[in-house]
Amino acid sequence: MNLNAEWITGFVDGEGCFHVGISRHEGMTAGVQVLPEFTVVQHERDAQLLHAIKAYFGCGVVRKNHGDRMAYRVRERKQLNERIVPFFEEHPLHSKKRVDFEKFRDVLRLMEQDVHLTEAGVERIRRIAEQMNRGAPR
Amino acid sequence: MNLNAEWITGFVDGEGCFHVGISRHEGMTAGVQVLPEFTVVQHERDAQLLHAIKAYFGCGVVRKNHGDRMAYRVRERKQLNERIVPFFEEHPLHSKKRVDFEKFRDVLRLMEQDVHLTEAGVERIRRIAEQMNRGAPR
């Protein structure tokens, strides 16, 4: 299945999610781990779509999610910075999810400057993350 | 907002629904009404997307749905036959929703032959409609 860039943008406008997780992690500097991830969740009957999206981006994994759902997920910062972010800069989302994407990109840029390795930096990232995904329930 | 055809296909693969309603209606021949409809439901914060889709197709309505949801809806057979069906023939869906679309088109073609105006015809359409939207809950 060959996907078109605009198709992917439309599908992600509907089904995608840009998320920044922040969790306690004793091993990390500042005591927390900041985990940005891009996901697309789908009923297992359409798992082939997730594999096609993975093939398009050339990164990420397809795994079982809750129940009969599958998820395409990208967590590696290098891949997020080099593949996912440039794609959505070139092919902008049309929905309000675009605002989430922009905050997601802001967090990744701060992480490139190691901002997440200080307590003040984590707070700054937390304030951005709290403003994300505040619309429709997912 | 100018939408691209491939974007619409991707968005409908995620958020669209092809449905054939069959309900009792004493005024109709065969005692039932067959009501095919194409809908795209979205959180009200993205109502502007539904209006952009309506503008693209040049038909349909945008209305409040349940709670904080809005829906773009096309019910007029002429518009379904002349605008919606040809669009998705030219820009095929990639998800399993494509199978629903094909059954939806089958029902519209049967209706063009007035098949829905006989009891046997309604049963034939009911069997097709029962096979639609059997995947993920909506």
Task: Please write the tens of the pLDDT for every residue from B61-101.
Answer: 999 999 999 999 999 999 999 999 999 999 999 999 999 99
Write the DSSP symbol of residue A31.
Answer: G
What's residue B90's pLDDT?
Answer: 97
Residues sharing a CB contact under 8 Å with residue B109, sequence separation 6 or more, in sequence order: none
Q: Assess whether pLDDT exceeds 60 at residue A39.
A: yes
CB contact under 8 A, B3 and A94: yes
DSSP for B74-93, written as a single string: E--HHHIIIIIHHHHHHS--
| Confidence category of residue A137, pLDDT binned at 50, 70, 90 | very low
ipTM of the complex: 0.90
CB contact under 8 A, A43 and B136: yes
Mean pLDDT score of chain B, rounded to an integer? 93
Report yes or no: B14 at the A interface, CB cutoff 8 Å.
yes
Query: Looking at the partner chain, which of A7, A14, A45 has a beta carbon nearest the beta carbon of B94?
Result: A7
Tell me the helix, strand and coil percentages in chain A, rounded to 5.
55, 20, 25
H helix count then E strand count, chain B = 6, 4
Strand partners, B37: B19
Give the number of C-alpha atoms closer than 13 A to the C-alpha of residue A102, restricted to the C-beta side: 9
What's residue A135's pLDDT?
Answer: 58
Tell me which chain A residues have a C-beta less than 8 angstroms from the C-beta of B96.
45-46
Edge-to-edge strands of the sheet including A16-24? A16-24, A32-43, A69-74, A61-64
pLDDT per residue as tens digits for the range B32-49: 899 999 999 999 999 999
What's residue B137's pLDDT?
Answer: 47
Output the pTM of the full model: 0.92
Specify the amino acid at residue B92: P
Tell which residue, B75, B79, B81, has the closest CA to residue B113. Answer: B81
- pLDDT average, residue stretch A76-84: 98
| Confidence category of residue A24, pLDDT binned at 50, 70, 90 | confident
- Taking CA–CA distances from A93, the nearest residue in chain B reads B7
What share of chain B in percent tops pLDDT 90? Answer: 83
Q: Assess whether pLDDT exceeds 60 at residue B58.
A: yes
What's residue A25's pLDDT?
Answer: 82
Q: What span, in angstroms and rounded, lies between the C-alpha atoms of A121 and A36?
A: 15
Backbone angles phi, psi at B113, to 5 degrees: -95, 10
